[in-house]
Structure 1
Amino acid sequence: MNAEQFNARYPVGTLVFAYPGVRPEDGTGTRLVTRTRTDAQLSASGDPVVWVEGEGAYICLTHVDPVAEDVWEAARKAETAAQPPEPTPQRLGHAARDETIPALLATIKELRDSRQPLIEALTLVHKSMTSCVGDEWAMEWLGEVWTQIPLNVRAAAGDKDAAAELAEAGA
């Protein structure tokens, strides 16, 4: 079915089973119990496609099956019943001071321990980007993204300009 034929038969909001990727007869895939959210149209590759609720990409019309309301409702109920119930939130109350302080100290230690791998990763990123002399994208990234990172973090990652700026500021 082409896009014009689909649009003539099925308005936006039509109840459908949609199969992003693989139809059930072609393998294991996901079935969405959903509805259309756009008219069908041609993709850039010329395939007739439609967007459906709950999916960020278009789906080829060969992977969309309009269904009757009773069939759609039954599938929606079965899908909802198959999902595990949300856990009931438990009121935690307040922790005692002698419980809170060790927990906070442990969190602080954990954050300090994670600092070095992050600095090493940023150092690698900075070296990689500055080695791309003449690469327009890398230079744009350094100007727009790198400069948004706090000055002391950039300096710790090996940015000599940031270190000099910190030294000038007396930090």
Structure 2
Amino acid sequence: MNAAEFNALYSIGTPVFAYPGIRPEDGPGTRLVTRTRTEAQLSAFGDPVVWVEGEGSYICLTHVDPVAEDVWEAAREAEKQAEPTVATPQRLGHATRDETIPALLATIKELRASRQPLIDALTRVHHSMTACVGDEWAMEWLGEVWTQIPLHVRALAGDQDAASELGEGGA
């Protein structure tokens, strides 16, 4: 579908499932339950694209599926049910050693549990940026921002160059 056809059928704010990077049928990826925040338009490379809420870059229309409002609401509710809840830290005050140690261990456990979502987010960013072959902004970002992330973190996020460099004893 081209941008004009998309705009004729769908207005800004249309509920969509968007797939930054890759579609689920093409491999592991992320589905965003979101809404369009712009009209569809052509990218600098001539691809029909649209910006959606919660995503910092445009997404090709081939990776955007408009859905009915009730389908969108059900998917949004399912996401909310699946979100882990993080307890608000409690002030320990003058806690005893026996009270403090379990609290510290619980905090460490929570921090370790948050590691995977961060790695997943970095993986998504890396895949999105490397998929933009020829996009000057994406290549500049990869060169200036991505390289500032520690080598072992980039390797965990799927950066094969970083993994190779680590394998060669680079860090």
Output the TM-score relative to the length of structure 1. Answer: 0.54
Aligned residue identity for 1:46: G
Greater length-normalized contact order (CA 8 Å, ≥ 6 residues apart):
2
What SS does the corresponding residue of 2:86 show, helix, strand or coil? coil
Aligned residue identity for 1:65: D
What SS does the corresponding residue of 2:65 show, helix, strand or coil? strand
Deviations 1:13-48 (A, max 9, x none): 000000001001111100000000000000000000
Pairing 1:20-169 to 2, within 5 Å after superposition: 20-93=20-93
What SS does the corresponding residue of 1:88 show, helix, strand or coil? coil
Aligned residue identity for 2:56: G
Gaps of 5+ in 1: 96-171
Between Structure 1 and Structure 2, whose CA radius of gyration is higher? 1
Indicate the percent of aligned positions where both proteins have the same amino acid: 81
> What is the CA–CA distance in structure 1 between the aligned matches of 2:41 and 2:92, rounded to whole Å?
52
Aligned Cα root-mean-square deviation (Å): 1.6
Aligned residue identity for 1:16: V
Output the TM-score relative to the length of structure 2. Answer: 0.54
Query: C-alpha displacement at 1:94, in angstroms?
Result: 5.9
Aligned residue identity for 1:5: E
Q: Deviating runs (4+, > 4 A) in structure 1?
A: none
> What is the CA–CA distance in structure 1 between the aligned matches of 2:33 and 2:14, rounded to whole Å?
11
Gaps of 5+ in 2: 96-171
> What is the CA–CA distance in structure 2 between the aligned matches of 1:43 and 1:70, rounded to whole Å?
31
Q: How many residues get paired?
A: 96
> What is the CA–CA distance in structure 2 between the aligned matches of 1:81 and 1:88, rounded to whole Å?
18
> What is the CA–CA distance in structure 2 between the aligned matches of 1:20 and 1:11, rounded to whole Å?
20
> What is the CA–CA distance in structure 1 between the aligned matches of 2:11 and 2:84, rounded to whole Å?
33
What SS does the corresponding residue of 1:7 show, helix, strand or coil? helix
> What is the CA–CA distance in structure 2 between the aligned matches of 1:89 and 1:10, rounded to whole Å?
44
Tell me the equivalent position of 1:161: none
Aligned residue identity for 1:11: S
Query: C-alpha displacement at 1:10, in angstroms?
Result: 0.5
> What is the CA–CA distance in structure 1 between the aligned matches of 2:88 and 2:55, rounded to whole Å?
28
What SS does the corresponding residue of 1:4 show, helix, strand or coil? helix
